[in-house]
A and B are shown apart, each in its own frame.
Chain A
Amino acid sequence: KAGVTQTPRYLIKTRGQQVTLSCSPISGHRSVSWYQQTPGQGLQFLFEYFSETQRNKGNFPGRFSGRQFSNSRSEMNVSTLELGDSALYLCASSPPGPTYTFGSGTRLTVV
């Protein structure tokens, strides 16, 4: 069974640019969540999607957005990048129930 696939694995962007990250969940999982991981703040919840609807949102500015497609694949977008957005962005999928499987993440570096 394939795991959660995140693309790209690494990304370097310039301040002010925007970026889109992609996540393909485990087949059959309809819930997709996104987390930001940094050395200073640790793992923080960004948002969660289920059946193309955002069900839950963390405490991040509106520059962070996401969406989910009918095949459960999800994307997150960060606009007007800041240096502080440099982080590992993790996607997790889950079946009904709280067993989350994380992908390996996208390492975003903003220069």
Chain B
Amino acid sequence: QQQVKQSPQSLIVQKGGISIINCAYENTAFDYFPWYQQFPGKGPALLIAIRPDVSEKKEGRFTISFNKSAKQFSLHIMDSQPGDSATYFCAALLGAGANNLFFGTGTRLTVIP
């Protein structure tokens, strides 16, 4: 049973465009939602994260939008660049001392020049 559902599975965007990746969850006990970026041969790297008491967080070209009532959150990559081509994972962490991340299935982003 996938605790965090992610879409789309793959995404192709032109350079300069906006990349949007969506995630949904069911467990309302999740209280931390990070996004990770993974390049081939490397481990996931933390990109940006949000808590459910905030509706939006922006860091440079990366923005998380969070909709607590809908139990959905999304990653927006503005002005997408070829160097952004990677696999992106959303994740969720239970509160109350739990320390295991539940990951989405990943989105392979390709930014074409």
Most chain B CB within a 10 A radius of its CB, from A90, A98, A102, A105? A98
- What residues of B have a CB within 8 angstroms of the CB of A68 in the complex? none
- Which A residues touch B99, using CB under 8 A? 31, 33, 48, 50, 55-56, 94, 98
Closest A-B pairs by Cβ, 8 of them: A102-B43, A45-B100, A43-B103, A48-B99, A98-B32, A42-B105, A102-B44, A104-B43
Interface string of A33-51 (1 = CB under 8 A from B): 1010000001111001010
How many residues of A sit at the interface, in one of the four size bands? 20 to 34
A92 — which chain B residues lie within 8 A by C-beta?
43
Chain B residues with a Cβ closer than 8 Å to the other chain, count: 22
C-alpha gap A99/B36 in the complex (Å): 11
Query: When chains A and B are docked, how far (Å) is the Cα of A55 from the Cα of B96?
Result: 12
Contacts of A103 in B (CB 8 A): 43
Residues 78-89 of chain A, each 1 if its beta carbon lies under 8 Å from chain B, else 0: 000000000000
Chain B window 88-102, contacts with chain A (Cβ cutoff 8 Å), 1 for yes, 0 for no:
010001000111111
Q: Of residues A42, A48, A50, which shows the largest number of chain B Cβ atoms within 10 Å of its Cβ?
A: A42
Is A100 interfacial (CB 8 A cutoff)?
yes
B52 touches A (CB below 8 Å):
no
Chain B hits for A100, CB < 8 A: 34, 46, 101
27 contacting pairs across A/B (C-beta < 8 A)? A31-B99, A33-B99, A33-B100, A35-B101, A42-B103, A42-B105, A42-B106, A43-B106, A44-B103, A45-B100, A45-B101, A45-B102, A48-B99, A55-B99, A56-B98, A58-B100, A90-B44, A94-B99, A98-B93, A99-B46, A100-B46, A101-B46, A102-B44, A103-B43, A104-B41, A104-B43, A105-B42
